[in-house]
Amino acid sequence: MHLQILVAVVLITMMASLGKASAHELPQYCETSCGNVSITFPFGSGRPGCYHSPEFLVTCNRTHSDGPTLFYGETNIVIKNMSIITGEIEVMSYVASDCYDNGSRVLNDSYDSFLKLFKFQISTKNRFVAIGCDTYAYIQGSRKNENFGTGCISLCTNKNSTRDGSCSGIGCCEIKIPDGMSTVNLTLNSYNNHIYVSDFNPCSYAFVVNQENNHFKFSSTYLRDFGKEVRMPTLLDWAIGDETCEIASQDTKNFLCKGNSECIEEYAGPGYRCRCKQGYAGNPYLKDNCTNKNECQGGNHDCVHKCVDTVGNYMCSCRRGYSGDGRKGGSGCTVKQSLVIMIAICSLIAFILLLILVTWVYVGVKKRKVMMLREKFFKQNGGIMLQQRISKDGGSHDRFRLFTMKDLNKATNNYDESKIIGKGGYGTVYKGILSDNKIVAIKKSKLLDQTKTQIEQFINEVVILSQINHRNVVKLIGCCLEAEIPLLVYEFIPNGTLSDHIHEESKSVAVTWDIRLRIATETAGALSYLHYAASVPIVHRDIKTNNILLDDSYVAKVADFGASKLIPVDQIELETLVRGTLGYLDPEYLQTSQLTDKSDVYSFGVVLVELITGQKALNFDRPEEERSLAKYFLSSLKNGRLFQVLDQHLQLKELPNEIIQVSRIAERCLRVKGDERPTMKEVATELEGIMASVIQKHPWVQSIENEEEGEHLLKQSANYYAFTDRGSGSSSTFDSMSKQITLPAASGR
């Protein structure tokens, strides 16, 4: 048998003649507050006349242990707040509990709660909440003499399965309160008498709580002990009487909404409510208590400029010269039309004049800065010195050009990315078309030292390179000194690098041994020319297959003089910091830093080996003993395995004598000591002799025909201007710019 305890309000229904107060003045003896709760009519305490009717009676206990406490009627239901604006009071209601000890219900525990209201209703802002891990809870009630019920279930197997703040059925469940409820009965029960959860949840709890401002948030600690004396805030809706505004207003004597108050039609429950009219404030249930509200003084207005208070309202005004209703939500304050037109015209004229002036000044200043900057760079990069050198040499003046930034910007479409034909560690190469429709390669370098000595050396090298007129050397056409770093302009070689044609399988088949021998001979002749025929001997210092370009007829063109050094005629060697490409670098130069023409000889020897074997100079994908092509080739040559290392794309069934001869030349070029290596003049002479013997053995025309057979493959090659080798890390470079001048020439151009 359930033990029923009354934990909510039983409203007073006594028919005692306490009288009713109509819309009149409140007696002075009525209490207006209790503790921190204001008592506002129609609620009141004490004598008749202080409250409207018995259901609005409240009692203030000023000797309560918690201090002055306001109770509902003569019950022990505590009122925490009341509002005449929303028509609500907040009371503290009891919590129903259902506890078990070893599966047996604990006697004298409240396991249900009963709340009966005759006039007031439970607000739908409340929620019905149940707490427990073995709990099902019901809320039963009546609405207009009609009974109904609903409920929720809360289950869980352990405390860790719950989540703080969540009341969705695991340890805690909640449902909305139906509207119009005036009588409520809460009932708790258990499926297994909390046997399986008794160690952390011996009890179930249920209550109705105001959730408008999140008064209740579930915590897993509530499963152990929610508290038997806990009360929860519950919101009640109240109104005057049972009649609507229309019917109640007919009783002019007892109707409370008079004077500057009005009856609220939005209230859906029984009875009516009052509120002060717009522009008035006060208690709408008291006679003449709704008085004018000064919106201007309180800042409760939407005036743009000036607020003027009126009875029950306010007005807005605008400044002189402005018109409108003066309200933010209305037309506001706008300038009168004539003034607007005048201001607009003057402002527009002033703006246009200012814009023209600013634009003119900006363009002029910017143009002046650009001109000054270009002039600064021109002088800084040795432009005056170069002009003097060119003027002294009438021949070079006709061949070598000084380009302006405007010329090269136009040629490259302002250095558009689509014009890039090569990138590397030293800069970028662009394909350009000059005003005379000549196609050129324009190199934009990254680094250049700016000391006076190095600039002089740079100008000297540019002048010398501009005078080189060799069939197998890429021609330097001119330069531009108006940029921070000079730009060099070379002739455009369309058929890519030698590295492309011997290392890419789709191209290497077409490059026969006769073609390779001719390329080697032409390259050797070009290097011999640089070493012995130039006005000042030039050591290239970075000979590799990536720096040997091929035109459409496979004519070799030695390119990229960015690392080159001029060796005075009275010196046979020059001390520099080491620079070059791993795999091609002269080991003696690497150890001593003494640069000689024999350093180029060593690098050319590696190029010969690449032409014979078709392998890269340095490849870390090969076994350790085969990574360095030079060492691997010398070892194979020593052990009589030359045929085994030949390029398979040569498709040779036997070892031709000329390959043996070229291999011997390569072996001599690759000797560790420079003194033991031949000169480039000797190498070029020997290769020319081998070429002559090949031509005698089979006409050169046949070789040309072989070239034409592969022409459609070769013309597919990209216009490639690379600064560094690609793949397998063989492009690692020893480089120093601190003791040498570097020509910002394109690698391969």
Q: Could you tell me which residues come within 8 angstroms of residue 553 by beta carbon, excluding any fewer than 6 positions away?
A: 707
Half-sphere exposure at residue 427, Cβ-oriented, CA atoms within 13 angstroms: 25
CB 332 within 8 A of CB 324: yes
* Phi and psi at residue 342, to the nearest 5°: -65, -45
CB 426 within 8 A of CB 352: no
Q: How far apart are alpha carbons 203 and 132 in whole angstroms?
A: 7
Which residues, listed in sequence order, are joined to residue 608 by a DSSP beta bridge?
none
Cis check for the bond before 42: say yes or no (omega within 30 of 0): yes
Q: How far apart are alpha carbons 205 and 526 in whole angstroms?
A: 101
CB 473 within 8 A of CB 529: yes
Q: How far is CA 427 from each of CA 344, 446, 450, rounded to the nearest angstrom?
A: 54, 5, 17
Which candidate, 285, 291, 290, places its Cα nearest to that of 271?
285
CB 409 within 8 A of CB 482: no
Residue 417 DSSP one-character state:
G
Question: Helix, strand, coil proportions of the chain in percent (round to 5)?
Answer: 30, 25, 45
Burial of residue 675, with CB atoms counted within 10 A of its CB: 0-12 exposed, 13-18 middle, 19 or more buried: exposed
Which tokens sit at 393? Answer: 């040499």
List alpha helices for 412-563, DSSP H.
452-467, 498-503, 505-508, 513-528
CA torsion 161→167→168→173, rounded to 10°? 110
Which tokens sit at 12? Answer: 């007073």
Burial of residue 360, with CB atoms counted within 10 A of its CB: 0-12 exposed, 13-18 middle, 19 or more buried: exposed
Helix-helix angle 680-697:657-669, to 10 degrees:
170
DSSP, collapsed to helix, strand or coil, labels residue 116 as strand
- Based on the residue annotation, tell me whether 542 is a catalytic residue of this protein: yes
Which tokens sit at 309? Answer: 């208070």
Which candidate, 298, 277, 301, 272, places its Cα nearest to that of 289?
277
- Vertex 240: Cα angle to 237 and 243 (nearest 5): 110
Which residues, listed in sequence order, are joined to residue 257 by a DSSP beta bridge?
none
Which candidate, 88, 108, 90, 89, places its Cα nearest to that of 98?
108
Q: Could you tell me which residues come within 8 angstroms of residue 736 by beta carbon, excluding any fewer than 6 positions away?
A: 576, 577, 578, 579
Residue 299 DSSP one-character state:
T
Q: How far is CA 158 from each of CA 133, 195, 320, rounded to the nearest angstrom?
A: 8, 12, 75
Total count of residues recorded for the chain: 749
Residue 435 DSSP one-character state:
T
Question: Residues 500, 542, 586, 600: which is the catalytic one?
Answer: 542
Which candidate, 465, 451, 479, places its Cα nearest to that of 563?
465
Q: What is the DSSP string of 481-510?
A: -SSSS-EEEEE--TT-BHHHHHHSHHHHTT
Catalytic residue positions, numbered: 542
